[in-house]
Every structure is written in structure tokens, then in C-alpha cells.
Amino acid sequence: MQNAHFPNGRQPAIEANVKRRSIAILLASLLVLEGCYYVQAARGQYDLMQRRRPVEDVIADASSPEKLRDRLIMVREARQFAVDELLLPDNDSYRSYADLERDYVVWNVIATPEFSLDPRHWCYPVAGCVAYRGYFAEASAKKLADRLASDGFDVMVGGVSAYSTLGRFADPVLNTMMRWNDTDLVATLFHELAHQKLYIKGDTRFNESFATTVADAGLERWLASTGTPADLEAREKRRADNALVLNMAMAARRKLESLYASGLDATAMRERKRQVFEELAKEASRYDGTANGAGYWFSGNLNNARIASIGLYEGRVPAFTVMLDDCGGDLGCFYARAEVLAEMNIVERDVELDRLAARMDQGS
């Protein structure tokens, strides 16, 4: 059942109090599940929820910075566009705003074995098993990363500007999202709402690639209806840059997968692995001027975890793109076909997604 929207953006006091108690009870129940990790998660989520203000109130507040008001007006329009044109959930998510007074909402840790591209998974009561561990404090994320690295894992830590509670809570627009340009902000809004449309526990690559495909299609339609020719041109350039990054990552992935299956001894495999990443860094350095910054994506500590992270968000996009094309761009059809995939077991689902991706490779 969807929550009602009130004209002034405020809910009756009794309903608001009930919601606050419900949030507190749910968060408190998590604390018994895994000690310190869920303590920080519950505290972080509770703090985020307490900072929310209805978007309408922030826009109407004369003390709000003009730039913030203008961007929230755009967010309000994009939120309704998501409902009317993209068939995404019509609920209270992204109809409020919260300032966390920091650059990222959470920091995610991704870890893979030294000779594998399969990320370690952690399991949660709401999201199921996912290929990352999130912390509301960067120091806590780095502490886990250091421990995993000492155990021999390849590790990366990345700041995250937005995440979805899959409709369990009314997720707000965050100040951490406001650092982006308008197109990235709108695309992220669509991406997070797509998680509420369809989400499979235990298949991070499916979930993130599905949401990325919805966001890409949604942003293209948003810009067609509201953007300028320059916006559309910049979007096409960004898509080409994304494809460049993905192609580099997938090429490196294929080399590494072949290497890890080769049976070489650890010393020889480690040296060849180093060479693969050295070659990737050299190639990427030629593209630092791209809008997406291929050099940025592949700078710093290049390892299995970084390649795995790109695959999680983009790896199944070609397959979903073919599926959307088969539907003639009709999102209702696309969602229905994605739901059929969601009903399959993961092996069957991967086979079908591989088949679809192969069609894009063949240009059909």
C-alpha cells in the first residue's frame, strides 16, 4: 500500500509518530543480528531518516540557498516524470531532502580473492546477499578493508552518494547527490527507483545492471523532453565514454579469467596478473580527457576488486539493452520480461543474459 501524499508535504502528527516508532523498532531489531556492524548501520540509517525535510518545505524556505531550491524543483519534476513516463514507483521516496553534512552517505568495501574475480558476498535481512559491505563511516570501511587485505584479498573502498532501501523506508534526496551535474542527479534518481521496481536477492550484477539500463533509458527520455541539444550531445558523449570504460574492463577481465584458470603456479600467476593491470593502466592513461575519465576509473590501486566493481554495475547492461530494443523501447514490456528472468534460478538467468549479450556482440 502506497503512502498518501499531502498537499503541504507534511503528514499528520499521529501518522508521523507511528512511522518514527516503526523505524526505531525495525532498526533496533537489526542490532541483535551481527553486533557492531548492525549497530553502525542502524545508527546511520536512523540519523539519515531524522534529517529528512519535505522537498516542498525546503523549496518554500527562504533561507534555503537559491541553487538548492532550483535543483530540488528539477528533482520534483524528474520524480513525477519517473512515475508518469518510466512507470516507476509512486511513493514517498525522493520527495524529501536530507543534508548529512559529509561528501558520501556510505563507503562500500568490495573484496575478491587474489586469483579470482568473484567478489565476496555479505548477506543482510532486507537486501539479501550482495557483493559489498557498506559503512556509514569511512574509517570503519577502511578498517575492514585492511583486515581483508591482510588475509590476502584484493580490496577497494569507494564512497557512495546514494543507495536504496528498496522501498522499506521513504528514501530522501541527499546533499551527497547534489555535487553532481543535473544529468547525473536525474539518472541516479531513476537508478535508485528502479531498484524498487525490481530487485533479486543474491544477484547484485543483475540488480545494478537492470537499474543502470532503466536510468540510461529514462535519462534519454528526460533530456528529449526537457533538455537542450547541448545536453543531448553531452549525454551521447558520456555514453561513448562509459562504453570505453566497460570495454577496457571486460577485456582485462577476460585476460584475468583465462590466467586464473591456467593452472600456473602462484608466483608466475602473480607476475602475469601484475602485467595485465600495468597494461590496463597504460591504455587507460590515454583517455584521461574523456568526460567519464577512463584514466580515473583505472587509477590508483588496480586490482581484481576494481574490475569486479565495474562488472557489477555495467556487466549485464548489453543484455538488458537488447531486451529493451526487442520491446521497441516499451518499458512495460521490458519490466515484464525482466520479471520473467527474475523468476529463473541464477544459472538459467545467466544463460539467457549471456545469449542476449551475444546478440549485441553480433550486431543483431
Per-position pLDDT tens, the chain of length 364:
333 332 333 333 333 444 455 555 555 554 444 568 888 999 999 999 999 999 999 999 999 999 999 999 999 999 999 999 999 999 999 999 999 999 999 999 999 999 999 999 998 877 788 899 999 999 999 999 999 999 999 999 999 999 899 989 999 999 999 988 899 899 999 999 999 999 999 898 899 999 999 999 999 999 999 988 788 788 788 778 878 888 888 899 999 999 999 999 999 999 999 999 999 988 888 776 544 455 556 766 899 999 998 877 778 999 999 999 999 999 999 999 999 999 999 999 999 999 999 988 776 5
pLDDT of residue 30: 46
- DSSP E strands: which ranges in the chain? 53-54, 96-98, 106-112, 122-124, 128-130, 133-135, 154-160, 173-174
Name the residue among 47, 165, 49 with its Cα closest to residue 96. 49
Name the residue among 203, 194, 287 with its Cα closest to residue 245. 287
User: Grid coordinates in use for 317?
Assistant: 547492461
d(C-alpha 287, C-alpha 270), whole Å: 27
pLDDT of residue 363: 64
User: Grid coordinates in use for 52?
Assistant: 529528512
d(C-alpha 146, C-alpha 161), whole Å: 22
State whether residue 145 is helix, strand or coil.
helix
Report yes or no: 103 and 176 within 8 Å, Cβ to Cβ.
yes
C-alpha torsion angle, residues 353, 356, 360, 364 (rounded to 10): 180
Report yes or no: 137 and 43 within 8 Å, Cβ to Cβ.
no
pLDDT of residue 354: 94
Reading across the β-sheet that carries 133-135, which strands appear in turn? 133-135, 106-112, 154-160
pLDDT of residue 4: 33
Report yes or no: 89 and 197 within 8 Å, Cβ to Cβ.
yes
Name the residue among 121, 144, 93 with its Cα closest to residue 201. 121
Name the residue among 162, 176, 122, 181 with its Cα closest to residue 313. 162
DSSP H/E element including 160:
strand 154-160
d(C-alpha 86, C-alpha 361), whole Å: 27
